[in-house]
Chains A and B, each alone.
Chain A
Amino acid sequence: MKKSYFGEFGGQFVPELLMPPLIELEEAYEQIVGSTEFKEEFNNILKDYVGRPTPLTFCKNLSKELGFNLWLKREDLAHTGAHKINNTIGQALLTKYMGKKNLVAETGAGQHGVATATAAALLGLKCIVFMGAKDVKRQAPNVKRMELLGAEVRPVYSSTQTLKDAINEALRYWISHQKDTHYCLGSVVGPHPFPSLVRDFQAVIGKEVKQEFLKKNNKLPDHIIACVGGGSNAMGIFYEFIKHKEVKLTGVEAAGTGTPNCYHSATLNKGSLGILHGTKTYLLQTNEGQILPSHSVAPGLDYPGVGPEHAYLKDTKRAEYKSVNDDQALYAFRLLSEKEGIIPALESSHALAWALSLKNKVPSDYNVVVNLSGRGDKDLNIVFGNIE
C-alpha cells in the first residue's frame, strides 16, 4: 500500500503546482509532528488553552430510559465549542515550525474558520478564510467571530457557493501563495498528507476516551458512535480503537430530509467512487462525474465527499456507516437538551440519534460512547426555524 493511500482510497490528485507544497508538508509531518519538542508544545496548548482532556460524561437519565449505558465524549467543552480546535492548533503550530507566517482555510458553517482564526490569533499568524457566499449569509455570527479574532473572511461566489467551492478557492489561493502560507484544511479529506495529518491531531479524542473509560470501568467500551461529514471527529475517536477489534465503530451520516431523491450528505451510504479535492474516495456525483450539491440540517455534515480512511474502514468492514435524517437528529437534539442539560451540535445529534435507535437491541450492561463533537448554541436559528 502506497503511503499516500488507504487501500485504494486517498492519493494526491492535485495540479503539479501544488505538489511542491504538499511534499514540503509531508516532510514536515514526518520530521516535526513526531518530534518531542513539537509534541510537548502541542500537548501544553491542548491542556492549558483548549482545556483538554475533555470529560467523559455518563448520561444518567437517558441511560435509564434507553436500557443501556450511554456516555458522551465532551468535545463541546473544548475551547471554541467543538473538536475542530485540536486540528487547527496542530496545523497552526506546524506552520510556525515550518517558518510560514500565514494560514488560509475554508469553512462551511464557520466552525473550522473560527477554530483556525483562534489558533492564528494565539500563535501570531495571519489568517484568511474562504467561505461560500451562501454560508456567509446563513452563518453571519461566525463571520463576525472570525473577524473579531483578526481573520479576513472572503466570500466565494462560484458554483453552489458552499463548502466545496470554499475548498476550491482555498486550494487556488494556496497555489499562488504557497511560499509563505500553509493551507489549514479542516477535515480528514483532501490530498495526502492531510487525511493522516488531521487524523493524528484529532486522535487525542480516542486516546482520552480509552484512558478515562478504562479508569472508570476497567475495560473498553463496547461501541463508539460518531457523526461523519468529512469525518474528522469520527476518525479522531475511532483511530485509537481500530486495533481493538472487539469495539464496534459506527459512523453516522446525514440522510437529509429523508424523502426519496432529496439532497443529502450520506456519501458512504449512497455515493460512488470518484476523485475530488485531491483524493480518491466516495462522492455524491452524477454518472458523468459532476459533483452533486449536498444537504443536511447540520451545516458541518454538508459535504459531497468523505475522508478516504473512512472509505477504507467501510470497505474493510472495520467500521459500519449508517445514516439518520434531519428529523431524527432534531429529536435527539431536543432530547439531550431536556434530559441531560446538554445542548448538542446538530452534527453530533446525528450520532446521538443512532445511539437512541439501539434501545431494546442491546443488553443492559452495554456501553456506548457517543462523540459529542460540538455544542449546539450555534444551531438555535436552524432548530427553531425547523420546529416552530
Chain B
Amino acid sequence: MSVNSLEALFIQKRQLGKKCLIPFLPGGYPDKKKFWELLFSMDRCGADIIEIGVPFSDPVADGPVVEKASNICLENNISLSWILDELKSNRDKLNSEIVLMGYCNPFFKYGWEKLAKDAKKAGVSGIIVADLPLEESMDIRTLLTEHHISLIYLIGLNTSLHRMEKYAKVAQGFVYFVSVLGTTGARDNLPKELQDKLIEAKKIFPKPLAIGFGIKSPSQTKEIEQWVDGIVFGSSLIEHIDRYKEVETFFNNWK
C-alpha cells in the first residue's frame, strides 16, 4: 500500500527539520463567509494540515472555548453537509491537507459510508472522531480505508503501553497525542509526565505523532519538540481570532 498523503507530508516536513502546523477551526466559524477567508489565510500562512471541526451539541472532549464556538456554528446552521459541499467547491484552492474532526453522532446520522464517499470527493484525507475509541472503531476504520481516508486515533497520558501497542497496529495517517488529562483549551503549563509518555509513544508508534489540547505558544513545546512531528492548536487560535479577527500574526509566532 502506498504511503498516504498525510504520512507523506510528515515525512517531507521531517526532512526539512520542521513540524507540521495543524490549526483547528470549527466549520463555519465565526460565520460562513469569514470562515473561508480565515481558512485561505491559514493555508497561505503555513498551515500544513487544517482540521475542520464538525460542530456537535454535546462535545464532551472540549473545553469552554471550543464548545462555545461550536454552539455559534450550530446557531449559524452549520452542518456536516454544508462543510462537505463547500469544501468540494473550494478544495483545489487549498494547499493544506484537510482533516475533519468531530463526534460520532453527526457522522453516524450522516451515515459512515456516505461520509467516506463524500469526504473523499471533498478532498478530505483523514477523520478524527473524539468519542470513538479503539474498541468501537474497527468497522468504521475498514469503511474509511476503502475510500482512502485515514481514521486518526487519539491517545493520551493515561493510555497504557498495552493499549498503545494495540493502537499502533491500526493507526493511520498520524497519531494525535492529547497532552493533558482533560478537555481542549489552552493551558499555561503542560504536565510534567508528558515528556516520558511521549518518549514511550514514539518508540511504539511507527506513524507520526502530533500533539494537541492545551497548546498555547511555541515556548511550551520547546522541551518536547524532538519527540513530536506536528502541533495542533484550537482553543488558542479561536481566542486569537475572536480578539484580532485574523490569523497571520498567530501563525507568525509559530514559524
Binding site for B on A (CB under 8 A): 4, 11-17, 19-20, 158-159, 164-165, 168, 171-172, 175-176, 178, 274-278, 283, 285, 287-291
Contacts and interface: CB of A to CB of B under 8 A. Distances in A.
Binding site secondary structure of chain A: mixed
B154 A16 contact: yes
A16 B156 contact: yes
A23 B25 CA distance: 32
Q: Which 4 A-B pairs have the closest CB atoms?
A: A289-B109, A289-B106, A176-B182, A289-B105
Contacts of B110: 288-289
Given A12-B136, A16-B153, A288-B106, A178 B158 contact: yes
Given A164-B58, A278-B131, A13 B104 contact: yes
A288 B158 contact: no
A23 to B, nearest CB: 9
Nearest to A272: B109
B56 interface: yes
A185 to B, nearest CB: 13
A369 to B, nearest CB: 36
A208 B180 CA distance: 46
Given A13-B104, A275-B131, A288 B154 contact: no
Contact of B108 (A12, A14, A16, A275): A275
B181 A291 contact: no
21 contacts: A13-B104, A15-B60, A16-B155, A17-B154, A17-B178, A158-B64, A159-B57, A159-B58, A168-B58, A175-B181, A274-B105, A277-B60, A278-B131, A288-B79, A288-B81, A289-B56, A289-B80, A289-B107, A289-B109, A290-B105, A291-B105
B61 interface: yes
Which of B71, B107, B135 is most buried by chain A, counting CB atoms within 10 A of its CB?
B135
Given A16-B178, A159-B71, A276-B58, A285 B133 contact: no
B109 A14 contact: no
B163 interface: yes
Interface string B43-71: 00000000000001111110110011001
A4 B135 contact: yes
A17 B154 CA distance: 9
Contact of B182 (A175, A283, A289): A175
B38 interface: no
A314 B135 CA distance: 25
A12 B178 CA distance: 19
A147 B123 CA distance: 54
Nearest to B178: A17
B12 interface: no
Contacts of B105: 274-276, 283, 285, 289-291
Interface in B167-194: 178, 180-183
Nearest to A19: B133
Contact of A16 (B58, B60, B64, B133): B133
Given A16-B134, A288-B106, 18 more contacts: A11-B136, A12-B133, A12-B136, A14-B131, A15-B131, A15-B154, A16-B155, A19-B135, A175-B61, A176-B180, A176-B181, A176-B183, A275-B108, A278-B131, A287-B109, A288-B110, A289-B109, A291-B57
B130 interface: yes
A290 B60 contact: no
B181 A17 contact: yes
B156 to A, nearest CB: 5
B61 to A, nearest CB: 4
A20 B159 contact: yes
A288 B134 CA distance: 25
B57 A290 contact: yes
A149 to B, nearest CB: 27
A17 B156 contact: yes
Contacts of A11: 135-136
Contacts of A178: 158, 181
